[in-house]
């Protein structure tokens, strides 16, 4: 699936971008590199409001910012398996995982597999992998029965 490309005119508020702004930026990420964004921008935008947009960008093989969107989806997933995560967040995450399993390519299939592992064994959470981008930089399938 390809998200429709649009022109990027900047963020009204980079700390709280609108979905359409994020989508437009994703196809022109060189306009404002991630390094120029506020500190921990990935953490700031990886919530429920932008998750649908981030998921679609991560699913789009042609999106220049796909890897960044996938990284944000790992953050979203890690937050969604916490014991105090809302039931709505858990339901949404499960739907994203199911969709990635059904129609996603290899990076999204790996993401879905890793989400299922974390849902089953939350104690396998590793900050470097899930929050700092380790699973995005070094894609691999986590073992369900491995050690932490």
Query: Which range has the worst mean pLDDT, 35-49, 89-103, 124-138?
Result: 35-49
Q: Identify the three-state secondary structure at position 137.
A: helix
As a 3-state breakdown, the chain gives helix, strand, coil percent values, each rounded to 5, of 55, 0, 45
Query: Which residue is listed with tokens 């105090």?
Result: 84
pLDDT given for residue 108 in this prediction: 98
Tell me: the pLDDT tens digits for 62-84? 999 999 999 999 999 999 999 89
Whether the CB-CB separation of 70 and 107 falls below 8 Å is answered with yes
Predicted confidence (pLDDT) at residue 146 exceeds the cutoff of 70: no
How many other C-beta atoms lie within 10 A of the C-beta of residue 57?
25
Domain ranges (residues) in the chain:
19-137
Predicted confidence (pLDDT) at residue 51 exceeds the cutoff of 70: yes
Q: Identify the three-state secondary structure at position 33.
A: coil
Query: Which residue is listed with tokens 């306009």?
Result: 31
Predicted confidence (pLDDT) at residue 7 exceeds the cutoff of 90: no
Percent of the chain with pLDDT over 70: 94
């Amino acid at each position: 699936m390809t998200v429709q490309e649009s022109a990027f005119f900047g963020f009204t508020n980079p700390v709280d971008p609108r979905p359409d702004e994020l989508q437009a930026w994703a196809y022109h990420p060189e306009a404002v590199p991630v390094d120029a964004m506020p500190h921990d921008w990935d953490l700031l935008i990886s919530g429920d409001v932008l998750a649908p947009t981030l998921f679609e960008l991560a699913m789009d093989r042609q999106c220049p910012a796909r890897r960044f969107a996938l990284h944000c989806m790992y953050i979203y997933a890690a937050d969604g398996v916490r014991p105090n995560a809302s039931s709505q967040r858990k339901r949404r995450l499960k739907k994203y995982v199911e969709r990635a399993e059904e129609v996603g390519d290899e990076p999204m299939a790996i993401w879905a597999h890793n989400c299922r592992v974390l849902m089953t064994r939350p104690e396998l959470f590793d900050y470097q992998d899930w929050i700092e981008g380790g699973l995005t930089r070094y894609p691999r399938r986590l073992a369900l029965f491995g050690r932490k």
